[in-house]
Structure 1
Amino acid sequence: MKAYNSYAGIALLFLSSGLVACSPEQSRAPIKVEPVSLAKVCDFSQNLTEYAATPDDTRTLRLLNERWRTLVSDDLFLSEEAAQQSRKRLTVLNYQLAEESLQLLEQTTAIAAETFQKLEPLRQYSSGNMGSPRSVVRELNNRLQECCMAKLDANATALVREDKESVLYEVGEIAYYVQRDLGHLVQGELDFAEYRQQLAAATERFNSTEQPDYPPQDWAHCKRRK
Structure 2
Amino acid sequence: MSRLREVLRKARSATASMWPALARAYRWVERTAAILQNEPGLDAAGVRRRLSALLAALVRWTRRRHRGVLRQALAHFLLETRRYWKGLFHCYAVPDLPRTDNALEHLFGTCRYHERRASGRVRGSAGLVVRGAVRLPAIAAAHLLPELDATHLAPGDLNDWRQLRAQLEARRVPRIMGRRFRADPDGYLRGIEEELRPYLLA
Larger Rg computed on CA atoms = 1
TM-score by structure 1 length? 0.23
Higher percent of residues as helix: 2
Higher normalized contact order (CA 8 Å, seq sep 6+, divided by chain length): 1
